[in-house]
Amino acid sequence: MIKTVDHAGAEGLVHIENLVKRYGSFVALDHLNLDVKEGEIFGLLGPNGSGKTTAINCMLALLKYDKGMIRIFGQEMAPDNYQVKKDMGIVLQNVAVFDELTVYENIDYFCGLYVKNKIRRKELVDEAIRFVGLEEHRKMRPRKLSGGLLRRLNIACGIAHRPKLIFMDEPTVAVDPQSRNRILEGIMELNRQGSTIIYTSHYMEEVEQICTRIAIMDHGRCIASGTKEQLTGMIKTGEKITIEGVALDEEQLRKIRGLPHVFQADYENGILRLQCTEAKHNLVRVLHCLEEQEIHFGRVFSEQPTLNDVFLHITGTQLRD
């Protein structure tokens, strides 16, 4: 089932049409269609093996594909389309830096692949070092850096030349929460400065936090795309309410099930779990019902629907399965 809630207008900054990539009999990308608009942080969300990295590698013209078309900045992407490549930056899933060079030298080297002018390059490298917060580590070798700092160096190497389009393939894998927050803030800042970002992750919280539009991938296909609100609005589930320490008889449970917008109510071991359709004041209505029947209760939790619910709704499996 393919669902999409955005209506494609003019061709995006990145346009992918019917992209098919096979590894032998395994279909890694199955007629993938995507459009990334200028100025977006576009999230590619999906479980491991869903085809996110394969899609990125195809967009970078590193990988052969069997069918389809990729256009970036309105031009067909090819290994020797250097005009397009000069405005692209990449931050790969695996840290790609030289162990033999210092932090400064690494960034200078990669920036030098795009920027020939020495003075301009120095400015950009200094700026990138400040941006990722590695000022105190500029003369250190990568192996002396912690995992989080290494990831920041990896990002600096990909963005120092100020690209218009940045591909970030799971840049926060194996990173501590502090570094992760710093990286995510940095990505949003890059976007504010004018870069369009394609961001892949299997962490739905990250994607929810930073992406302006999201495509959910599974088995090489885009199963849904849109803003977070559009995606969560696609499914029946609205608010999820959990009430602990509650004792109910059959009649009381029947009354709760009969409340407006409650479409599922499970009661087990003193815990009541309710799923409501999208509507306002669900929690108030439920608590009012409990009070009316003089039912005592303990802690109460309310959760808004997540992208995981969307994924679960569409595929029948958890995003992190």
Among the residue ranges 57-65, 237-245, 279-287, 289-297, the one whose residues contact other proteins (CB under 8 A): 57-65
Could you say which of 16, 34, 36, 57 contacts other proteins (CB under 8 A)?
57
Q: Give residues 149-168 in contact with other proteins (rule: CB under 8 A).
A: 157-158
- From the CB of 62, what's the least distance to other proteins, in Å? 5
The SS3 call for residue 38 is: coil
Q: Give residues 61-100 in contact with other proteins (rule: CB under 8 A).
A: 61-64, 78-80, 82-83, 85-86, 88, 90, 92-98, 100
Q: Give residues 99-118 in contact with other proteins (rule: CB under 8 A).
A: 100-101, 105, 108-110, 112-114, 116, 118
Q: Phi and psi dihedrals of 132, rounded to 5?
A: -95, 0
The SS3 call for residue 262 is: strand
Provide the sign of the torsion angle of the four alpha carbons 301, 305, 307, 313, taken in this order: positive
Using the minimum distance from each CB to other proteins, give the nearer residue, 57 or 252: 57
Q: For residue 220, what are the contacts with CB-CB under 8 A and spacing of at least 6? A: 21, 27, 28, 29, 30, 32, 50, 51, 54
Using the minimum distance from each CB to other proteins, give the nearer residue, 92 or 276: 92
Q: What is the b/e burial string over 245-284, where b = at least 16 CB atoms within 10 angstroms of the residue's CB?
A: ebebeeebeeebeebebbeebebeeeebebbbeeeeebbe
Q: Give residues 1-30 in contact with other proteins (rule: CB under 8 A).
A: 23
Q: Which residues pair with 264 in a beta bridge?
A: 275
Total residues at interface with other proteins (CB under 8 A): 36
For other proteins, the binding residues (CB under 8 A) are 23, 57, 60-64, 78-80, 82-83, 85-86, 88, 90, 92-98, 100-101, 105, 108-110, 112-114, 116, 118, 157-158
